[in-house]
Amino acid sequence: MKKILLSVAVIFAFGANDDMDALFDEGFSQSKTETSADVNDEFDNFFEKDIPVKKKKSYKTTFKGMFKVRGYRFIEPTHYTKQDNALYHSDSILQLDGKFKKDNYIISSSFFGMIGTDDYTYNYKEMYHEFRDVNKETPMGGIRELYTIRSSDSYDIIVGKKIFNIGISTIYSPSDVYNVKVSPDPLDPYTIGTWLVDLEYYYNDSNIGLVFFPFISNSKTAAPESRWSGNSDEQANIDSFIIPAGSEIIEDTENRVRALARFKTNILVLNQGVDLMLDVGYGPSLYTVLEYTDKPNVYLQTRPSAWYVSGGFSTTYKKLEVHGEFYYQNAFSDADDDFVSAVGGATYTLDKFVDKVGFNKIDMTIEYVREIIIDTYDDTVTYRSSEQQRAPKNDILINVSAEINDKWSLGYFGNFRLELDQQKDSGRYQKVSTTYKMYDGLVMNIFGEMFNGDVNSYYGKWKRNDRVGVDFKYSF
């Protein structure tokens, strides 16, 4: 009870986000003191001269929020004694957003609070750390975004904590790795922004950006006791990434600035518009490795210096959208793998003839993702590379959304991991769902998720985590 009271108190102490630009255009009503129309000219001049008139507001403020509560049941226990085998779980998130705009300045903020029944994962003892955050426990609340924008017709200056997305791909973007992910449940991550200084220059249909990231923070993952920790009931054949018992891991707390130069434009190819993006970055890698130290069984978890390039395109022809994207990392001193992660895919919309089967429209997206290691790490310097953190590697992604009417829709998502280099690591994750808009702002979603695969695979280790659940999301 004490946890719940504390969580509620913290959640409702939060204040104000982004994504509200449309609300600014609605305008505000102004009141004005007027003189009587029945007095003579002398008194009209007197009143017009001496009675103050309320000025039009030079600023605008907007607020909105979101509350989501979810409950689900696992079909069976894991049969693994070191994991939490509770079948029923629930969690909830409250998000409060606000924006203040005056002249060419915008201040945007977003705060969140979350609670859940998985006591192994959630951190109720202390609030979310800012700046250099190396804590891996899921916080019960914190700042999602807090930034200011100085804008003009030709440039923007953004300073603060902001969700930063540069990718162009629809389902999976290998370039969107800058934000912090809060993932006590890896299938339902919550995105938190990153601290940055962003300078954006606009010219015609193009923009050039220079971004600095002064702090590096860890994403939040499930606790070792959670059934999402990746442990398996069986012994995997590949054990090169298992840390020996009794080993000590030291966290590298050195802050090193990351920098990114970015370019986006739209060009005309065969009378068809094509969106292009290209980014070149330098600084600490976006993934961590374990390096050897002078002491036996003591390893340093750090982000080796690297430079990286990402690029992509997207174009639409009638009802077909086609896109592609890649991300390349080159680590210095062979402290990590040099690799390319690439994705290509398409989205097609069916809005004719589908009424014969009871739908308004159907959107279908398919993508293929492949990672290619160009040069492996130096095992005399690094004990463990970032390979296990980099996913997907050889996957087909499918997403289908079928709208029945204004209230009902059906959804399907599938991730099929294909075997890579005969490692018996193929796996499958599938999700089916139905969404119902109950009232204005209130949406119910019923879902079922299924996992399967080889013992060495990502999803094979979750094959006892099949579950069904329901969530309610209220936007206000």
Contact 432, 411 (CB under 8 A): yes
The closest alpha carbon to 164, from 119, 128, 214, 123, belongs to 214
pLDDT at site 83: 77
User: For residue 117, what pLDDT is reported?
Assistant: 87
Residue ranges covered by each domain of the chain: 1-28+60-234
Size of the chain, expressed as the number of residues it contains: 476
What pLDDT score was predicted for residue 40?
45
Q: Is 422 helix (H, G, I), strand (E, B) or coil?
A: coil
* Tokens standing for residue 370: 């492949």
Separation between Cα atoms, residue 93 and residue 374, nearest integer Å: 41
- Tell me the C-alpha distance between 377 and 241, whole Å: 14
Burial label, 410 (beta-carbon count in 10 A; 0-12, 13-18, 19+) = middle
Q: Which residue has the tokens 């959630």?
A: 122
Contact predicate 341/387, CB 8 Å = no
Q: What is the pLDDT of residues 228-256, one digit of tens each?
A: 876 544 444 444 445 666 788 888 877 78
Q: pTM for this structure?
A: 0.82
Residues with pLDDT less than 50, the chain: 1-49, 232-241
Tokens in use for 451? 């996992």
Q: How far apart are CA 428 and CA 454, in angstroms?
A: 9
Return the pLDDT at 50: 52
pLDDT for the residue 286 = 84
- Closest to 415 measured CA to CA, from 387, 390, 447, 449: 449
For residue 380, CA distances in Å to 293, 294, 329, 385 come to: 11, 12, 20, 12
Helix (H, G, I), strand (E, B) or coil at 9: helix
Q: Could you tell me which residues are beta bridge partners of residue 146?
A: 109, 161
Distance, in Å, from the CA atom of 461 to the CA atom of 448, rounded to the nearest integer, reads 18
